[in-house]
Amino acid sequence: MAIERLLFADAIPDAEEASLVIFGVPYDGTSSYRPGARFAPHAIRQASYNFETYHPDLKVDLGDATFADAGDLPEVGRSEVLVETVEEAASSYVASGRRTLALGGEHSLTAPLVGAHEDVTVVILDAHMDFRDEYLGDPHSHACVTRRVVDQVGVERTLVVGVRSFSKEEAADVAAMGLPHVSATQIVEEGLEDVLSTLEDRPDPVYLSLDMDALDPAYAPAVGNPEPLGLTPRHVVEIIQALGSRIQGFDVTEVSPPWDQGITAALAARLAREVLAVLHAEDVI
């Protein structure tokens, strides 16, 4: 008997037929506070069916777009195996000219995804700097992911947005290395002008990583490390719309379904659909 797997709403099952491939990464092996992100790919797919296919602001219908959901990568234990598994899968999609959209899982998966995409500026939306060189002895911890991104692309091609939590040691490293970042406080007080002008000054394709804790816990309560005083969903939508077809890869991470009453998975699904809608509006998918 055939077992049907749940696809992200409006996706087709065959990656060969699409210019963008969604895949899930059910991993929370380095979680430091509230585990459960390994259940998020399924929860986000379920939540994706809540929405109309039509996007009234962009005037496009995702029912007319062609994108695939290839399912989940295998569950793994050790973080170094996770890194290898994600980079291998993503590299095969990128090598055949496809964009990627990853449903985490915890934030660790972003480093190997960036490794698979060449010549990208990396925009990381996160409450946390994630800039430790290692955490609890693990350099692939979710708490180190921005550091691992910078190892690969350099600080000049990295931008952290919405940050409001980091250690004294991370602050010193950020200052010494000159890591560009825009705080949640600045965005709440002044809007997105600084973020959008920085992105305009960098014409490269973009890898966009959304740690859901960038959003205020009022909007995204069920995350691994909730941090008050954050961004609104509208901020994230504006960044996605400003980037448009420059988005080569996207991930949404750190949703923890055991803590969720559906709000956080719904917002994660909706923001993933925003990325799909802007790519469809610009005829990419």
* Interface residues toward Mn ion, by CB under 5 A: 107, 126-128, 130, 211, 213
State which residue, 69 or 106, has the beta carbon closest to Mn ion.
Answer: 106
CB of 18 to Mn ion, least distance (A): 28
State which residue, 72 or 251, has the beta carbon closest to Mn ion.
Answer: 251
State which residue, 213 or 216, has the beta carbon closest to Mn ion.
Answer: 213
State which residue, 223 or 284, has the beta carbon closest to Mn ion.
Answer: 223
CB of 227 to Mn ion, least distance (A): 7
Strands (E), the chain: 20-25, 54-55, 60-61, 68-72, 99-104, 121-125, 158-163, 181-183, 206-211, 247-253
State which residue, 10 or 130, has the beta carbon closest to Mn ion.
Answer: 130
Alpha carbons 59 and 190: distance in angstroms, whole number: 29
CB of 201 to Mn ion, least distance (A): 25
Alpha carbons 73 and 44: distance in angstroms, whole number: 15
CB of 209 to Mn ion, least distance (A): 8
CB of 139 to Mn ion, least distance (A): 15
Exposure letters 202-212 (e unless 16+ CB within 10 A, then b): eeebbbbbbbb
Residue 132: how many CB atoms within 10 A of its CB?
21
- C-beta separation of 104 from 40 below 8 A: yes
State which residue, 6 or 229, has the beta carbon closest to Mn ion.
Answer: 229
CB of 192 to Mn ion, least distance (A): 19
Q: By CB neighbour count within 10 A (0-12 exposed, 13-18 middle, 19+ buried), where does 7 fall?
A: middle
To the nearest 10°, report the CA torsion of 23, 28, 29, 35: -170
Strands (E), 52-187: 54-55, 60-61, 68-72, 99-104, 121-125, 158-163, 181-183
- C-beta separation of 87 from 112 below 8 A: yes
State which residue, 60 or 253, has the beta carbon closest to Mn ion.
Answer: 253
CB of 22 to Mn ion, least distance (A): 20
